[in-house]
């Protein structure tokens, strides 16, 4: 059974002047359990809307989404999805531990189990020793690691990541990408990672889904057959990145004509 | 460090007062010693407590009205554009009319009693509360609310854990501001039309040209307000906003 099946997903918004804005014009993809998929597309192409739909924040206009064979709608159908945003989006008045604990507080876990889970994922994200710090006392990279720990703490079936490293400086982002791969391999989570950074997508993922400008459609699927852990200077990754770049140029040329 | 600085600043103020009191005659500026003596005598006779109690009672009830009306106005203006456009002019008019006008109107309407004072205080102080709360609601970070929704946090939890904590600094600012306004309007109302309270006593001693007593009553209530600030508001603020006292690591 596939972990995720997205079938002919569409989304449009009706604007104030009653005009219709098509954001997603038909997306199809499937994922196996434990896979790492990147969705790559130009800025403003509706990638974030796709993640919002998967997270249950927005309702789709058409099409189906299944997670582990169950339809996602309505209200996520009890399917747990972890979300990491572009910004850490931590609650600044809560300690790091209490931030990671936040999504567990309304669940079935006892107080002690919540603390244990928070501690486990805090350590997985290498934040041991910073439990009682407040978010604003930590660097941007550490805050984002706390956000990843928070998303993992709910033991999600799928981890959704919306350009999580794009607001970090490049060196920090590189470290974070390596950390993410380590966490992914330790936890075996299914990850959907949205980005507009071609090399980031190639470096991280097993599969790439290239989507068009708005309204987003599936343009191409690319496999990255390079084993982990990967090296930043690996020529095979560069070759694939070049191929994807050419694909983007071709896609834009098609659009222009 | 900050405490010593604060202590020095008060010490300097008293030294200046003492120094100036030697320059001027006691009718113009009595020194700290006779003024504190007067405070002591007022309190010892029980009269001081009575009038301070009357003023605090009016201030707190008026403040409560201001916080409730201002809070409702501010929150509505913050969440709804229609409410903002509709109520904005009310708040602005409320803010512009001099406090003494409210005092006169309420005294004429309700007579020379506590309700007049309390309503005057509530009406005068509510625009300040409304403006602070309006700003507070507008400044709520929508990003963390989306985050909470993505994590399926129930609505009641979302409001309690994600929305309300963000408004704490604004509620504190509103309280502080409104408290300052309330005490000023309270003394004005008492001065014009009451037969009790600090404002009444100020008027009484003004009639007798006793600078010592005027300063004694002013200082009494200033000390009460400082006590409220440093014993209630300040410690609460320190606890509620501890996360802001930060050092980058």
For residue B51, what pLDDT is reported? 94
Distance CA B235, CA B229 (A): 9
Interface test with B, best of A89, A139, A141 (most B CBs within 10 A): A89
Strand partners, A5: A30, A66
- Beta strands A81-84 and A70-71 are unpaired
Least CB-CB distance to A57: which of B149, B153, B242?
B149
Please, are residues A176 and A144 in contact by the beta-carbon 8 Å criterion?
A: yes
Q: Chain A partners of B151 at a C-beta cutoff of 8 Å?
A: 83, 102-103, 150, 154
List of chain A residues with pLDDT < 70: 74-75, 256-257
> Would you state the pLDDT for residue A78?
76
For A130, which residue in chain B has the nearest alpha carbon?
B249
The per-residue pLDDT for B249 is 43
| Interface mutation vs chain B, best among A79, A103, A192, most B CBs within 10 Å | A103
Q: Which of A106, A136, A154 sits opposite B157 (nearest CB)?
A: A106
Chain B residue with CA closest to A54: the answer is: B150
Contact call for A83 and B151, based on CB within 8 A: yes
Residues B133, B173: contact at Cβ < 8 Å? no
Q: b vs e for A199-235, b when ≥16 Cβ sit within 10 Å of the residue's Cβ?
A: bbbbbbbbbbbbbbbbbbbbbbebebeeeeebeeeee
Please state, in angstroms and rounded to a whole number, the distance separating the CA atoms of residues B106 and B189. 9
CA dist B32 and B11 (Å) reads 12
Closest partner residue to A91 (CB to CB) among B144, B242, B247 is B144
CB contact under 8 A, A81 and B157: no
Record: contact A57-B248, CB cut-off 8 A: no
Helix H or strand E encompassing A29: strand A20-31
Parts of chain B with a pLDDT under 70? 1, 245-249
> Which chain B residues are within 8 Å of A93, Cβ to Cβ?
165, 240-241, 243
Q: Are strands A4-14 and A81-84 parallel, antiparallel or unpaired?
A: unpaired
CB < 8 Å from A in window 127-186 of B: 143-144, 146-154, 157, 161-162, 165
Q: Give this prediction's pTM.
A: 0.80
Query: For residue B248, what pLDDT is reported?
Result: 45
What is the predicted ipTM? 0.87
Query: Residue A216: beta bridge partners?
Result: A24
Cis peptide before A229 (omega within 30 of 0): yes
Q: CB–CB of A85/B143 below 8 Å?
A: yes
Q: Is the dihedral of CA A106, A108, A114, A118 positive or negative?
A: negative
Chain A positions in Cβ-Cβ contact with residue B143 (cut-off 8 Å): 85, 87, 89
Q: What is the CA radius of gyration of chain A?
A: 18
């Amino acid at each position: 059974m596939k972990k995720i099946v997205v079938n002919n997903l569409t989304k449009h918004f009706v604007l104030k002047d009653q005009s219709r804005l098509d954001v997603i014009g038909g997306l199809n993809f499937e994922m196996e359990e434990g896979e790492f998929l990147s969705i790559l597309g130009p800025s403003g192409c509706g990638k974030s809307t796709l993640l919002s739909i998967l997270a249950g924040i927005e309702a789709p206009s058409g099409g189906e989404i299944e997670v582990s064979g169950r339809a996602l709608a309505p209200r996520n159908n009890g399917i747990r999805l972890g979300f990491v945003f572009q910004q850490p989006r931590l609650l600044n008045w809560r300690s790091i531990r209490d931030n990671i604990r936040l999504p567990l507080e309304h669940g079935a876990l006892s107080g002690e189990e919540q603390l244990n889970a928070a501690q486990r994922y805090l350590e997985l994200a290498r934040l041991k020793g910073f439990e009682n710090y407040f978010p604003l006392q930590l660097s941007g990279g550490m805050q984002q690691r706390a956000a990843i720990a928070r998303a993992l703490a709910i033991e999600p079936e799928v981890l959704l990541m919306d350009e999580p490293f794009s607001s970090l400086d490049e060196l920090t982002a590189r470290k974070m990408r390596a950390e993410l791969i380590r966490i992914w391999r330790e936890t075996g989570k299914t990850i959907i990672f949205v980005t507009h950074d071609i090399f980031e997508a190639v470096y991280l993922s097993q599969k790439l889904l290239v989507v068009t400008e708005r309204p987003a459609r599936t343009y191409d699927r690319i496999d990255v057959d390079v084993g982990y852990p990967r090296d930043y200077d690996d020529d095979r990754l560069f070759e694939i990145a070049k191929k994807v770049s050419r694909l983007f140029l071709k896609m834009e040329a098609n659009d222009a004509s | 460090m900050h405490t010593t600085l604060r202590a020095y600043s008060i010490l300097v103020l008293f030294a200046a007062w003492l120094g100036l009191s030697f320059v001027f005659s006691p009718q113009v500026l009595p020194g700290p010693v006779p003024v504190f003596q007067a405070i002591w005598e007022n309190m010892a006779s029980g009269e001081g407590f009575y009038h301070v109690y009357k003023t605090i009672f009016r201030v707190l009830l008026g403040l409560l009205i201001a916080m409730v009306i201002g809070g409702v106005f501010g929150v509505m203006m913050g969440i709804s554009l229609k409410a903002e456009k509709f109520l904005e002019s009310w708040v602005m008019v409320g803010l512009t009319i001099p406090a003494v006008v409210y005092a006169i109107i309420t005294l004429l309407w309700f007579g020379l009693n506590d309700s007049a004072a309390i309503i005057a205080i509530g009406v005068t102080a509510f625009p300040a509360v409304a403006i602070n709360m309006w700003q507070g609601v507008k400044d709520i970070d929508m990003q963390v609310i989306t985050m909470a929704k993505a994590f399926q946090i129930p609505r009641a939890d979302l409001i309690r854990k994600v929305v309300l904590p963000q408004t704490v600094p604004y509620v504190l600012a509103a309280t502080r501001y409104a408290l300052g306004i309330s005490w000023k309007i309270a003394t004005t109302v008492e001065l014009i039309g009451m037969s009790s309270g600090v404002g009444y006593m100020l008027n009484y001693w003004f009639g007798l040209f006793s600078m010592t007593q005027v300063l004694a009553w002013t200082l009494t209530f200033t000390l009460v307000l400082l006590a409220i600030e440093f014993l209630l508001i300040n410690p609460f603020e320190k606890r509620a906003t501890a996360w802001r006292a930060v050092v980058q690591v």
